[in-house]
C-alpha cells in the first residue's frame, strides 16, 4: 500500500512517463523520416529510416499559380531481398544510364542493425520496468527492479540516438549523390521524436529513484518499530520503554548478601597435665 500521497504520485508519474517514452520511441522506430533529402532534379523526396525507406513526389509548380500536391509515400523494407537486388542493379547501371547513387542509402547497413537492436532492447527493458512499477507497492524486489530497468532502458535509447547522430554526420552518409548534383540529407522529425521519448524515460528514471528511496526508507522505519515493540515488556504499554542495562546475574547479585562469612581456621589445643614429682 502507498505510504503517502507523494509516493503514490511519484509512482504514477513514473509509470505514465515511461509508457509515453516507450510509445514515442516506438513511433519513431516505425517512421522513415530519420533522414530526409529532396532530389530536385528528379522532383522526388526520399526518407531514409532505420529499417525502411520511403519515396514520394515532391511539390513543384509547372506554371505560375499551379502547385501539385504531394503524392503518398511508397515504402519498402531495407532487409527485403528483392529490394536489395534492385539496389544492386541500380548501382551497376550508374555509369551506363546515369542512375542515382543515392540508392546506396537504401541498404540495411551494420549501423542500422545496431541501432535497431539497441532500440528493441530498450523497449523490452522499458516494458519490464512498467511491470515492476505496477508491483512496486507490493514487493520490495519490484521496487528495486524499477529504477535498474529504467536506467538500462534509458542508457540503450541514448546509445542508439548517439550512434545515429554521429553516423549521420559522416560525409558519405550526410550527402546523397544524384546524377547531376549532390544533396544534403536533413535529420528528420523521427530522430527528434526519439529524443523526446528518451527525455521522458530520463524523467521517469529520476522519479523511480525517488520512489524506491521512499519505499526503502519506510520499510526500514517499519522494521525499527517492530524491533522496538518486540523488546517492550509484556505488561508495559509504552513503546518508548528501554530495558535496563544488563548487570550481573541475579544469583550472583543476591548470593553475595546471604553468603556466610568464612570461618576461622581451627587450631587444635593441646592440654598439658602437670604432675608433681
Residue 267, classed as helix, strand or coil, is coil
Regarding pTM above 0.85, the answer is no
pLDDT tens by residue, 109-144: 889 999 999 999 999 999 999 999 888 777 878 888
Is 176 within a domain? yes
Residue 111, domain member (yes or no): yes
Measured CA to CA, the distance from residue 109 to residue 172 in angstroms comes to 13
Report if residue 192 sits inside a domain: yes
pLDDT at 30: 94
Residue range of the domain that includes 52:
11-60+68-220
Give 255-263's long-range contacts (Cβ < 8 A, gap of 24+): none
Which among 10, 12, 22, 17 is positioned nearest to 125, based on CA atoms? 22
User: What is the average per-residue pLDDT within 74-91?
Assistant: 68
Residue 18 lies in a domain: yes
Higher pLDDT, 22 or 5: 22
233 part of a folded domain: no
Cell of 52: 525502411
For residues 39 and 222, what is the distance between their CA atoms, to the nearest angstrom?
A: 67
| Four-CA torsion 85, 87, 91, 92, nearest 10 degrees | 20
Total number of domains constituting the chain: 1
* Helical segments of the chain, H only: 5-29, 81-92, 94-97, 110-135, 140-168, 171-174, 189-230, 250-258
pLDDT of residue 7: 73
Quickly list H helices, 67-188.
Answer: 81-92, 94-97, 110-135, 140-168, 171-174
CATH number at residue 116: 1.20.140.150
- Of 210, 198, 199, the C-alpha closest to 8 is 210
Is the pLDDT score of 194 beyond 90?
yes
200 within some domain = yes
The pLDDT assigned to 43 comes to 81
Amino acid at each position: 500500500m502507498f505510504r503517502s500521497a507523494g509516493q503514490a504520485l511519484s509512482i504514477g508519474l513514473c509509470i505514465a512517463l515511461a509508457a509515453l517514452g516507450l510509445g514515442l520511441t516506438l513511433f519513431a522506430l516505425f517512421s522513415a523520416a530519420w533522414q530526409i533529402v529532396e532530389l530536385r532534379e528528379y522532383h522526388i523526396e526520399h526518407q531514409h529510416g532505420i529499417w525502411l525507406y520511403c519515396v514520394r513526389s515532391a511539390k513543384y509548380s509547372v506554371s505560375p499559380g499551379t502547385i501539385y500536391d504531394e503524392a503518398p509515400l511508397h515504402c519498402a523494407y531495407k532487409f527485403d531481398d528483392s529490394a536489395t537486388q534492385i539496389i544492386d542493379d541500380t548501382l551497376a547501371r550508374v555509369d551506363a544510364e546515369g542512375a542515382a547513387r543515392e540508392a546506396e542509402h537504401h541498404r540495411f547497413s551494420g549501423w542500422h542493425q545496431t541501432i535497431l537492436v539497441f532500440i528493441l532492447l530498450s523497449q523490452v527493458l522499458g516494458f519490464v520496468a512498467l511491470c515492476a512499477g505496477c508491483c512496486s507497492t507490493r514487493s520490495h524486489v519490484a521496487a528495486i527492479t524499477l529504477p535498474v530497468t529504467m536506467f538500462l532502458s534509458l542508457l540503450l535509447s541514448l546509445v542508439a540516438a548517439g550512434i545515429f547522430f554521429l553516423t549521420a554526420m559522416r560525409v558519405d552518409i550526410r550527402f546523397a549523390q544524384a546524377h547531376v548534383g549532390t544533396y544534403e540529407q536533413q535529420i528528420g522529425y523521427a530522430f527528434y521524436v526519439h529524443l523526446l521519448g528518451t527525455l521522458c524515460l530520463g524523467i521517469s528514471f529520476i522519479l523511480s529513484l525517488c520512489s524506491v528511496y521512499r519505499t526503502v526508507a519506510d520499510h526500514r522505519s517499519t522494521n525499527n518499530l517492530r524491533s522496538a515493540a518486540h523488546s517492550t515488556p509484556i505488561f508495559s504499554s509504552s513503546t518508548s520503554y528501554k530495558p535496563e542495562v544488563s548487570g550481573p546475574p541475579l544469583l550472583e547479585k543476591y548470593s553475595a548478601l546471604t553468603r556466610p562469612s568464612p570461618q576461622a581456621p581451627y587450631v587444635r589445643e593441646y592440654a598439658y597435665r602437670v604432675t608433681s614429682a
